[in-house]
Amino acid sequence: MKRYGNLWDTVISWPNLLLAARKARSGKRRRSVVARFELQREWHVLKLRDELQAGVYQPGTFTTHRISHPKPRLISAAPYRDRVVHHAIMNVLMPLMEKRLHPFCFACRQGKGTHAAARHVQMMAARNRYAWHADIRSFFPSIDHAILKTLVRRLIKDRRFVALLDRVIDCSNDQDPVEIYFPGDTLFTPMERRRGLPIGNLTSQWLANWYLNGMDHLITSHWRHGCYARYCDDFVVMGDCKDQLKNLRNVVAAYLATLRLRLHPKKDMISPVYAGITFVGYRIWPTRMKVRRITVRRFFKRLMWIRHNFETGALSRDEVRTRVHGFLGHVVPVQGVSFRKTVI
């Protein structure tokens, strides 16, 4: 596998850092922290560049909040200046990862996303009898820092760039504890090994994709090409033989153990495709798909909250438009234009 070097000068270059600042502010210009940064943008960017060049850059403290839907999770937001650094990193790292990431990994990638993932799964369902649908237990909190750093070094050999990535990984805030033991572990191993990436970071999303890239290639090397899809830690494999899917499940479970990950026991099932597959927020059959009812109910409940906050002045018209259009973009390709008219 080719490893890339001589990247550091590009990462800290003035054009790259300015581009990162523009990307970080996208859709957030009204926020006070963004306005303060933009007021003296060149000064802030120059200060970041000097810190990075001197090797003294230190990520700040995360702001956290919890969500309960679709499942309980800790969401972490990095300080704004750190988000600029994350974009600067990904401006360089993303094209290199894109060359190696599996084509059927759909999360956070340009030209892919939830719609493409759902269409791909529906196309597979029309050609196969059974679907193995699985999820990884506590994926983001379980990502092992030492293993992730090893995987990053298989792609990047630039010493200073690797050191910056290590710092971003090491400065991840503590995630919800996950007690999963593997052969050779002691009672204290889960507490001794640093684990977890903050959900909400741009770097976390791409590093998580990279963490499971080996699994993607393992599955398609053992299985018929084209009958696989993954979105983050949620994946589907299809075939005509249930026993072969069970054998593949054992192979994948053994590989995941080398990453110190486990399949979720309640979200690991093999079923006929005609029964429907729940994936990326849709219920998918060979000839049709629908947005999950719970997703629609949750949106209308959220819509009442948006309306109240707009009427009290807590949300601007642009913020309302962004929140509503984001959901409509997910729903309308499946539910149709009539659903859009109902919401509007």
Report pTM.
Answer: 0.88
Q: What is the pLDDT along the chain (344 residues), one digit of tens a residue?
A: 789 999 999 999 999 999 999 999 987 777 888 889 999 999 999 999 999 999 999 999 998 888 877 678 888 989 999 999 999 999 999 999 999 999 999 999 999 999 999 999 999 999 999 999 999 999 999 999 999 999 999 999 999 999 999 999 999 988 888 889 999 999 899 888 999 999 989 999 999 999 999 999 999 998 876 799 999 999 999 999 999 999 999 999 999 999 999 999 999 999 999 999 999 989 999 999 888 777 777 777 777 878 877 788 777 777 777 777 666 665 655 554 445 555 55
3-state SS assignment for residue 256: helix
Q: Taking the mean position of all CA atoms in its chain, how far away is CA 225?
A: 23
Compute the distance between CA of residue 185 and CA of residue 167 in angstroms, rounded to an integer: 26
For 81-104, give one letter per residue: b (16+ CB within 10 A) or e. bbbbbbbbbbbbbbeebeeebbeb
Query: Cα(166)–Cα(164) distance, rounded to whole angstroms?
Result: 5
Mutual angle of helices 80-100 and 41-54, in 10-degree steps: 60
Query: How far, in whole angstroms, is CA 199 from its chain's centroid?
Result: 8
Supply the pLDDT for residue 285.
95
Phi-psi region of 27 (alpha: psi -120 to 50; beta: other; left: phi over 0): left
Q: Could you tell me the two tokens for 58?
A: 């230190």
Check residue 62 and give left, alpha or beta (phi > 0: left; psi -120 to 50: alpha).
beta
Specify burial of residue 170 (Cβ count, 10 A radius: 0-12, 13-18, 19+): exposed
